[in-house]
């Protein structure tokens, strides 16, 4: 996945920057990215800067918050979202360029309990058929999952 992300970022940069003049200041790139990409992007960014001469500013957070900021004119040059529906909405609103939309990864949510849990686990969760049915024996009165209405 990291190679694919590096390739995508390099391609986007060449599209965004075009040929650079030797006398020009190095280009800068502000990247809004879903928080779960922080580990990979913090490793990729220095390599990208070295390969392109660009200065990269990484901003990690919530895809929904970033979409709102971009809609209001937020300073993102590139947006890596955790939910493609936000990208699709911004494209429909003509805020993002349709031709730059690229699916960069797909994943699955996984839950596991350690075999070495002492005593009874505080929460027994059963996931079936996608988000499935959530059964819990906890003192919590509210439980949520990211975008549970989407299947």
Sign of the four-CA dihedral 94, 96, 101, 103? negative
The encoded tokens of residue 96 equal 């993002």
**Contact, 30 vs 41, CB < 8 A?**
no
Average pLDDT value for the chain: 74
Q: Is the pLDDT of residue 13 over 60?
A: no
For the chain, the structural domain boundaries read 2-100
pLDDT higher at 136 or 106: 106
| Residue pair 60/82 in contact by the 8 Å Cβ criterion | no
Which candidate, 41, 146, 17, 16, places its Cα nearest to that of 104?
41
| pLDDT band (50, 70, 90) for residue 120 | very low
Domain 2-100 has CATH 3.30.420.10: no
pLDDT of residue 104: 84
> What are the tokens at 51?
């390969």
Residue with tokens 């939309």: 101
Percentage above 90 pLDDT, the chain: 48
């Amino acid at each position: 996945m990291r190679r694919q992300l590096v390739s995508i970022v390099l391609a986007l940069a060449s599209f965004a920057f075009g040929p650079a003049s030797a006398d020009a200041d190095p280009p800068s790139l502000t990247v809004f990215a879903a928080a779960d990409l922080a580990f990979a992007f913090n490793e990729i960014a220095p390599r990208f800067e070295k390969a392109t001469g660009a200065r990269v500013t990484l901003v990690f957070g919530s895809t929904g918050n970033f979409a709102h900021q971009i809609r209001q004119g937020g300073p993102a040059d590139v947006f890596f979202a955790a939910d493609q529906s936000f990208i699709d909405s911004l494209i429909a609103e003509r805020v993002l360029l349709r031709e730059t939309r690229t699916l960069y990864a797909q994943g699955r949510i996984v839950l596991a309990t350690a075999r070495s849990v002492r005593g009874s686990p505080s929460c027994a969760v059963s996931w079936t058929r996608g988000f499935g049915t959530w059964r819990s024996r906890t003192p919590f009165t509210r439980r949520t999952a990211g975008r549970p209405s989407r299947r």
